[in-house]
Amino acid sequence: MKFLESNCSFEVLDEALINSTNVFECSNFDLNDFFQNDSIAFASELMGKSYCFTLDSDSKNIVCSFTISNDSIKTSILPNARKKKLLKNIPSEKRFKSYPAVLIGRLGVSKDFTSLGIGTELLNFIKSWFIERDNKTGCRFIIVDSYNTNEALNFYQKNGFNFLFSSEEQEKMATDFGCEEQIKTRLMYFDLISLYS
C-alpha cells in the first residue's frame, strides 16, 4: 500500500504550515534551512513553489518536501551524443532548440522516514502531476539538479532519471564551473513521454 497516499496529506508549504509544524529535518542541512527559512520568500518572488506531505496521525510531522519551478532543456548546451539521446523519441519535424520542463529544485525525505520507498513514491506523485489531464501547459521533461552524492544520484537513477551530461567534465565546461575540483550538483532528466505508452 502506498504510504503517502494512505497515511499523509498533501499541502502547500506556506507560512502557516511552517509555523504550525515541527522543523523539517532530512539528512541535508542546506535543504532543511531552505524549507524552514527561504522557501516562503522564494515563492513570493514566484521563483518556485514548495509542497509537502504531513502525517495524518501527527499533522505537525512533515514526512517529505519538495520545490518545483518552470524550466527548459536547451539543446545548444549539450554535446552531440547527448542531444541525440535526448531527442531520439522526438520526431524531426517537432524538434526545437528548447524543450519544456519542470525543475525539482529541492526534494527531501525526513530522516525518520528514509529508505522506506517514500522518496520513490514522491517522485511518482510529481511525475503523475505532469502527465495526462494535468499536463496543462505542455511539459516534456522533469529536470533535477541533484546533489553529487551517491545517495542522491542512486536515488534519481533508480527512478529513471538520466544524466544530462555523461561526465562531470562535460557538465563543468557547459555550465561554467571552471576548474572547480568536484561539481556539487549534477543535472539529470526524466522524459515524461515514457509514461504515456
Ligand X SMILES: CC(C)(COP(=O)(O)OP(=O)(O)OC[C@H]1O[C@@H](n2cnc3c(N)ncnc32)[C@H](O)[C@@H]1OP(=O)(O)O)[C@@H](O)C(=O)NCCC(=O)NCCS
Quote the least distance from Cβ 64 to ligand X, whole Å. Answer: 7
Residues 56-95, mask of contacts with ligand X (x by CB under 6 A):
----------------------------------------
Residues 158-177, mask of contacts with ligand X (x by CB under 6 A):
x-------------------
- Terminal alpha carbon distance of the chain: 24
Quote the least distance from Cβ 129 to ligand X, whole Å. Answer: 17
Residue whose CB is less far from ligand X, 83 or 177: 177
Task: Give the CA count within 13 Å in the CB-facing half-sphere of 9.
Answer: 12
Q: Is 150 in the site for ligand X (CB under 6 A)?
A: yes
Residue whose CB is less far from ligand X, 151 or 180: 151
List CB contacts of 39: < 8 A, sequence separation 6 or more: 13, 18, 48, 50, 67
Q: Is 26 in the site for ligand X (CB under 6 A)?
A: yes
Cα 125-34-74 angle, rounded to 5 deg: 60
Question: In a 3-state reduction of DSSP, which class is residue 100?
Answer: strand
Count of beta carbons in the 10 Å neighbourhood of residue 58: 10
Residue from 6, 80, 115, 182 touching ligand X (CB under 6 A): that is: 115
Q: Segment contacting ligand X (CB under 6 A): 14-22, 77-85, 109-117, 169-177?
A: 109-117
Q: Is 124 in the site for ligand X (CB under 6 A)?
A: no
CA atoms of 119 and 110, how far apart (whole Å): 10
Phi, psi of 107 (to 5 degrees): -160, 130
CA atoms of 104 and 119, how far apart (whole Å): 13
Residue whose CB is less far from ligand X, 36 or 75: 36
DSSP string, 55-67: ETTEEEEEEEEEE
Quote the least distance from Cβ 67 to ligand X, whole Å. Answer: 10
Residues lying near ligand X in the complex (CB under 6 A) are found at 26-28, 31, 106-109, 114-120, 146-147, 150-152, 154-155, 158
